[in-house]
Structure 1
Amino acid sequence: MAPLINAENLSVTFVTRTILDGVSLGVEEGERIGVVGRNGDGKSTLLRILAGRAMPDSGRVSPQRGLSIGFLDQQDVLDGTDSVRHAVVGDVDDHVWATEARIRDVISGLLADVDWASRVSTLSGGQKRRVALAKLLIGDHDLLLLDEPTNHLDVEGVAWLARHLKSRWPAQRGGFVVVTHDRWFLDEVTARTWEVHDGLVDIFEGGYAAYVLARTERDRAAAVEESRRQNLMRKELAWLRRGAPARTSKPKFRLDAAAELIANEPPPRDSVALHKMATARQGKDVVDVENVSYSLDDGTVIFDDVTFRLGPGDRYGVVGVNGAGKTTLFKLITGALSPGSGRIKRGKTLQPAMLSQEVRELDDVMQLRTVEVIRAEREFFTIGGQDVSAGQLVERLGFTRERAWTRVADLSGGERRRLQMLRLLVGEPNLLLLDEPTNDLDTDTLAALEDLLDGWPGTLLVISHDRYLLERVTDRQVALLGDGAIRDLPGGVDEYLSLRESAMGGARKDGHALSSAGSRAATTEQSTTANAGATSAADQRTARKELARIERQLQKSAEREEKLHAEMAELAQTSDFEAVAKLDVTLRELSASRDALEEEWLILSEALD
């Protein structure tokens, strides 16, 4: 594969802290790369340098001649006086851009609910983000550099973006590097992972699941991480192995390698024990929403005669379209809002706590230091049967000693969200309502948060576009589709996406605000594509045989890799690092061969879908 861009010996220092220290890496044709790391460790800085938007203190970046780079910044870079239409397609006539399939798909996928004629300045933060993303994606770029593209996207939008990136270029063409905390998205679209930490960038083959496995193996063999972190990684792997039914339809080659490691790892939560504890704390009644209706001042119906019951230890994830009433439901449950009709019955011992999206709850403690906020609640806490000090609890959720003694006013948005989450938990509520808790949190912090919630004995409600978190910490999901009802989702997030697709019908397929000429072009092209995509029964049989052959080869490759890992572990204990290095070369060659096979497998699988 030809290199798209190379970076050599990049170094960046901010005041007294080194963000990047002699980092060298590159992106080749066909690569799909995810970037993970703690907040503040340099992920966005690295992306900005690759995009040419920032200069390193030393080192250089060498793009391929004529390379077209598309860059999505976290900052708002749109002209507020522009209309949405002009911001996205500029001065191009409707009948011109409407004939482009990619442009129609981007506009219908991201902007179906945005007024085409409205000014950018009148849009919400989430809508501006989607306009900026749409503007980028309609361009014909060779390399995309995306900094938190899933921020402000709902579950449906994240799923659309994943489909778009997977089909944007032919195999072995184009490339993208994406910074995101959305682990489902990383696993869905990336085939390589960069971990940015301590001024370095470690490179791992595979998406998030493979990264978790490889990092756990690295930590165990080298003994570079404390036992608590290793336990977190094994727990994360156990979830990946036992996760939602939707996950079982994905390729299992990378996950199968984790089977022995997690064979004796218990499920993330002991649901029976937690239910008993929750019942003891809450009694049998938590919240009963009975025949409740609620409308906005302008007459918009949010809920229409809905009934929804929460029992002790219930864990619900809530998904839905923007404006369907997810946050309103939380406020009705806590008593912050009153229903127009019906009643909400709350248990006598109910102690609710809600994490809002804005984290305004910290406004009254801005002058305190992080650990002082927690100590103000209590000095010691019992978690999982063990006594934990306020300082240890703060450290457990990712605050270093230095940050633990930083004033709240000087914390980042993600750090404030972490702190408020801790503050809520130590207050010992028995009903916890979390409104978009993953905003601004890195993947390590999310894993720590999930671990903390695993042992929390109470009733949990979570609103989130992060389907990984929803499937990880909740047992059931419900949907608000904007029709005034609350719908149970036995099939989880996948069922929600299917319902939304059915509800939208064919409206979204033809794009948004298309001219009649553009619509006719879209219809013609879709018909042509459908006919071209049909395959004969004989072709399908041949493809299935080839698929089976590749699966056998992948199985043999996995067994060989397992033996190599075992040999390397034994040699590492004897300090025979020369032999370990030789085996590592063999392992890398085997990994490259496996990647090629997996690429073939994926292409054949998509052809058979």
Structure 2
Amino acid sequence: MNYLSAENLTKSYGDRILFRNLTFGINRGDKVAIVGANGSGKTSLLSILAGAMPPDEGIVSHRKDISIGYLDQQPDLNDALTVMEVVLAGESAQLDAVRAYEHALAHNDQAALERAMSEMEKQEAWDYESQIRQILGELGIQDVEQQVGSLSGGQRKRVALARVLIQNPDLLILDEPTNHLDLEAIEYLESFLNTNNGTLLMVSHDRYFLDRVCNQIAELDGGQLYTYKGNYAYFLEKKDEREMAAASELAKDRNTFRRELEWMRRQPKARGTKAQYRIDAFEELKDKTSGKRSDGDLDLNLRTSRLGTKILEVENLSKQFGEKVLLDHFTYTFKRFDRVGLIGKNGMGKTTLMNMLTGQLRPDSGKITTGGTVKFGYYTQNELSIPENQRVIDVVQDVAEVMKLANGDTVTASQLLSRFLFDRAKQYDYVAKLSGGEKRRLQLLLVLVQNPNFLILDEPTNDLDISTLNVLEEFLLNFSGCILIVTHDRYFMDRLVEHVFVMEGEGKVRDFPGNYTDYREWRDDQPKNTSQNDKATSAKSKNQSVTPAVSSQSGSTSTTKKKLSFKEIKEYETLEKEIESLEQRKAEVIDLLNTGGHHEQLTAWSREIEQINQSISEKSDRWLELAEYL
């Protein structure tokens, strides 16, 4: 069953053509990702397919009887509303029922309340509010009564994502859904989309996410769309085959073009004396060979300042805001070539720690000693703080006119921009005309051009295309200094880090030897609800007082499942009966609500249903936890 069809789409900005005559379709059950280089037009194409932007030419058709949910890169939310009000502002039959019910309660309208309760029952919406809170919580939004105007850009994106997911549309269209999510939230979203039977169209650069969620990849390259049935790994294999075939075809075309060019030059100048069909074929071949282009590779061969033996020593570092403790006596001595990943839920203090290490924020107590040769390069989540009306080349020249490369050669600002895939025309564009990914690439250049030897990277993968990420990974693998990385890109972190700092809350930091996947496997092997009693949390490393973990490669980590005690087995059996009893009581109260009554009775029954739902949720979680070990 076809959900979306696009025919002969064309979109351009001024003289720049993003794509021309694209034809594309999505069927029910497809999970499609659009990938491509920064500035290739992915976001514009997604906006056109979602109906948020008109194409210059072409037609987009949606099946009339389906619902569509669209997550923009920069969602437009009403700042005056609370988080819950924004989420309830979506469109679905269940949301309509919840809104009508809340309105009837607020206005003490008994007739409207009875109608609303009947509709709640019909739409099975009694559990809906708890589902809303669960999705918001999983995405890192706990306070549903805070105003949207007080949220950060990342929090706004997560609220918008929650609103779209809660609507449960037939066709879900998401633009960079994993940006601004922490690693656990990404894994929740991954699981949600994998278990959802809906149809998905998205733009994403998260390679693990693409591989595990999608069954079709569409690459936007050179204004054309190449579609592959399969996950991201299959796409990489077939793309390589396509590019090899294209290179072979281009070589043949150029050989033919050289022969035809020689023929054209030998023939008389009067065109009427030549075979017109051959002249036409020559012109077509000329267009084909001149139209082929190579994007080139991002070249990060920049010089690194020499790093001495003393790097960075952190001793008993503590920081809190109000009553929230972010760091509690954190101690660590950085060594040469350290590759550290920094992970933890949003709000745990990752950015706070990086700001303290770079001197942008003072700790409450403790000491940071920086070696005399250390030169920080700090890549932040904040967008470029430069005038939008400044030209790209002027931005770089303000830092340096000439830069040194690792091999000793020097390059001008223009040559360096070319190495970062900014062609001559783009160099003289205004910053305002750059795409999100191009701005991030320019920001990365401005950090690296200062020849740092200690890189601190806060979400460097946001908005960077996959080819740029691959080159950045190779540069960092060969970087001769220290690296501290915060990223939601699990593939990026797994390739680069040798151990991770895990911010566990209440100021505790665990230093785990291994990458992110090693840590997750180790954590998943630990018995539930015993982390506070873990003997490893009281151990002290000889080099730091952060909480060390048992290595996932050491023999001291048990991989056997926990066995339930007799008491826990009895608890498991009791929970089954209690959940069944609560479900029966819930059905009885719903029947009472449907019979009507005084406003006070109706309100009391509604509150009882909320309490029952909460109890069922808590007991079900505990039952599932115990069931895992059985």
Map residues 501-520 of structure 1 onto 2, 5 A cutoff.
515-520=610-615
Residue in structure 2 matched with residue 144 of structure 1 by the alignment: 172
| Closer, same or farther: CA 202–346 of 1 in aligned 2, 3 Å | same
Partners of 1:187 and 1:208 within 8 A in 2: yes
Map residues 561-572 of structure 1 onto 2, 5 A cutoff.
none
Residue in structure 1 matched with residue 338 of structure 2 by the alignment: 314
> Counterpart of 1:422 in structure 2: which amino acid?
L
| Closer, same or farther: CA 427–527 of 1 in aligned 2, 3 Å | closer
Q: Mean alpha-carbon deviation: is it higher for 310-319 or for 157-166?
A: 310-319
Partners of 1:84 and 1:117 within 8 A in 2: yes
Mapped to 2, the partners of 1:490 and 1:131 lie a distance apart of 34
Residue in structure 2 matched with residue 436 of structure 1 by the alignment: 459
Instruction: Tell me the TM-score normalised to structure 2 length.
Output: 0.67
| Closer, same or farther: CA 21–367 of 1 in aligned 2, 3 Å | closer
Map residues 381-420 of structure 1 onto 2, 5 A cutoff.
381-383=404-406, 390-408=413-431, 410-420=433-443
**Cα displacement (A) at 1:347:** 1.5
Residue in structure 1 matched with residue 489 of structure 2 by the alignment: 466
Match 2:204 to one of 171, 177, 180: 180
Partners of 2:498 and 2:513 within 8 A in 1: no
> Counterpart of 1:330 in structure 2: which amino acid?
M
Residue in structure 1 matched with residue 18 of structure 2 by the alignment: 19
Mapped to 1, the partners of 2:16 and 2:184 lie a distance apart of 39
Partners of 1:11 and 1:59 within 8 A in 2: yes
Partners of 1:12 and 1:58 within 8 A in 2: yes
For residues 305-347 of structure 1, the C-alpha deviation after alignment (integer angstroms, 9 at most, x for no partner) is 1112211111111112222221221222222333333322222
Residue in structure 1 matched with residue 318 of structure 2 by the alignment: 293
Residue in structure 2 matched with residue 447 of structure 1 by the alignment: 470
**Cα displacement (A) at 1:38:** 2.2
Residue in structure 1 matched with residue 196 of structure 2 by the alignment: 168
Residue in structure 2 matched with residue 540 of structure 1 by the alignment: none
Partners of 1:353 and 1:424 within 8 A in 2: yes
Residue in structure 1 matched with residue 163 of structure 2 by the alignment: 135
Residue ranges of structure 2 left out of the alignment (5+ in a row): 90-97, 103-119, 252-302, 532-606
* 3-state SS, counterpart of residue 318 of structure 2: strand
> Counterpart of 2:187 in structure 1: which amino acid?
A
Residue in structure 2 matched with residue 107 of structure 1 by the alignment: 136
| Closer, same or farther: CA 141–367 of 1 in aligned 2, 3 Å | closer
* 3-state SS, counterpart of residue 484 of structure 2: strand
Tell me, yes or no, if structure 1 residue 348 matches structure 2 residue 372: yes
* 3-state SS, counterpart of residue 241 of structure 2: helix
| Closer, same or farther: CA 65–411 of 1 in aligned 2, 3 Å | closer
**Cα displacement (A) at 1:386:** 7.0
Partners of 1:10 and 1:56 within 8 A in 2: yes
Residue in structure 2 matched with residue 421 of structure 1 by the alignment: 444
Root-mean-square deviation over aligned CA pairs = 3.7
* 3-state SS, counterpart of residue 185 of structure 2: helix
Tell me, yes or no, if structure 1 residue 456 matches structure 2 residue 479: yes
Map residues 173-252 of structure 1 onto 2, 5 A cutoff.
174-223=198-247
**Cα displacement (A) at 1:389:** 5.5
* 3-state SS, counterpart of residue 501 of structure 2: strand
> Counterpart of 1:74 in structure 2: which amino acid?
Q
Residue in structure 2 matched with residue 51 of structure 1 by the alignment: 50
For residues 214-257 of structure 1, the C-alpha deviation after alignment (integer angstroms, 9 at most, x for no partner) is 22222223228999xxxxxxxxxxxxxxxxxxxxxxxxxxxxxx
**Cα displacement (A) at 1:369:** 3.5
Which structure is higher in RCO with an 8 Å CA cutoff and minimum separation 6? 1
| Closer, same or farther: CA 366–354 of 1 in aligned 2, 3 Å | farther
* 3-state SS, counterpart of residue 282 of structure 1: coil
**Cα displacement (A) at 1:98:** 4.9
| Closer, same or farther: CA 108–115 of 1 in aligned 2, 3 Å | closer
Mapped to 2, the partners of 1:3 and 1:55 lie a distance apart of 21
Mapped to 2, the partners of 1:226 and 1:469 lie a distance apart of 33
Residue in structure 1 matched with residue 503 of structure 2 by the alignment: 480
Residue ranges of structure 1 left out of the alignment (5+ in a row): 228-276, 506-512, 536-609
**Cα displacement (A) at 1:5:** 1.8
Partners of 1:294 and 1:339 within 8 A in 2: yes
Partners of 1:384 and 1:455 within 8 A in 2: no
Residue in structure 1 matched with residue 307 of structure 2 by the alignment: 282
Partners of 1:397 and 1:445 within 8 A in 2: no
* 3-state SS, counterpart of residue 281 of structure 1: coil
**Cα displacement (A) at 1:492:** 3.3
Mapped to 1, the partners of 2:612 and 2:213 lie a distance apart of 34
* 3-state SS, counterpart of residue 166 of structure 1: helix
Partners of 1:370 and 1:408 within 8 A in 2: no
* 3-state SS, counterpart of residue 239 of structure 2: helix
Partners of 1:383 and 1:455 within 8 A in 2: no
| Closer, same or farther: CA 70–447 of 1 in aligned 2, 3 Å | same
For residues 519-553 of structure 1, the C-alpha deviation after alignment (integer angstroms, 9 at most, x for no partner) is 24546877999999999xxxxxxxxxxxxxxxxxx
Tell me, yes or no, if structure 1 residue 79 matches structure 2 residue 78: yes
* 3-state SS, counterpart of residue 223 of structure 1: helix
**Cα displacement (A) at 1:452:** 2.9
| Closer, same or farther: CA 303–497 of 1 in aligned 2, 3 Å | farther
Instruction: Tell me the TM-score normalised to structure 1 length.
Output: 0.69
| Closer, same or farther: CA 377–366 of 1 in aligned 2, 3 Å | farther
> Counterpart of 1:416 in structure 2: which amino acid?
K
> Counterpart of 1:516 in structure 2: which amino acid?
Q
Mapped to 1, the partners of 2:442 and 2:250 lie a distance apart of 23
* 3-state SS, counterpart of residue 192 of structure 2: helix
Map residues 249-260 of structure 1 onto 2, 5 A cutoff.
none
> Counterpart of 1:89 in structure 2: which amino acid?
L
| Closer, same or farther: CA 323–534 of 1 in aligned 2, 3 Å | closer
Residue in structure 2 matched with residue 607 of structure 1 by the alignment: none
Partners of 1:371 and 1:391 within 8 A in 2: no
For residues 119-148 of structure 1, the C-alpha deviation after alignment (integer angstroms, 9 at most, x for no partner) is 222222222211111111112321111111
Residue in structure 2 matched with residue 8 of structure 1 by the alignment: 7
Mapped to 2, the partners of 1:503 and 1:389 lie a distance apart of 58
**Cα displacement (A) at 1:351:** 1.4
| Closer, same or farther: CA 426–83 of 1 in aligned 2, 3 Å | closer
**Cα displacement (A) at 1:167:** 0.2
| Closer, same or farther: CA 522–447 of 1 in aligned 2, 3 Å | same
> Counterpart of 2:135 in structure 1: which amino acid?
V
Mapped to 1, the partners of 2:521 and 2:82 lie a distance apart of 30
> Counterpart of 1:123 in structure 2: which amino acid?
L
Mapped to 2, the partners of 1:185 and 1:300 lie a distance apart of 32
Partners of 1:97 and 1:103 within 8 A in 2: no
**Cα displacement (A) at 1:208:** 2.8
* 3-state SS, counterpart of residue 476 of structure 2: helix
For residues 274-326 of structure 1, the C-alpha deviation after alignment (integer angstroms, 9 at most, x for no partner) is xxx99x93232211111222233x35322111112211111111112222221
**Cα displacement (A) at 1:199:** 2.0
> Counterpart of 1:518 in structure 2: which amino acid?
N
**Cα displacement (A) at 1:387:** 6.5
Residue in structure 2 matched with residue 243 of structure 1 by the alignment: none
